[in-house]
Amino acid sequence: MKLQGIRVLDLSLFLPGPHFSMMMADHGADVVALEPPYAEPVRAVGLKQNGHSVWFRNVYRGKKVLIWI
Based on the structure, what is the number of domains in the chain? 1
1 belongs to a structural domain: no
Position 54 in a domain: yes
- CA distance readout (Å), 64 to 9, 28, 52, 53, 61: 10, 13, 15, 17, 9
Is residue 2, in this structure, part of any structural domain at all? no
- Domain assignment of residue 38, yes or no: yes
3-state SS assignment for residue 32: strand
Q: Express each pLDDT in 26-63 by its tens digit.
A: 999 999 999 888 877 777 788 888 878 888 888 899 99
pTM of the model: 0.84
**Averaged pLDDT, 8-37:** 93
Q: Which domain holds residue 55?
A: 7-67
CA 52 and chain centroid, separation:
12
For residue 55, the model assigns a pLDDT of 86
Is 35 domain-assigned?
yes
CA angle 63, 22, 3 (to 5 degrees): 85
- Asked whether the beta carbons of 59 and 22 are under 8 A apart, the reply is yes
Residue 36 pLDDT: 86
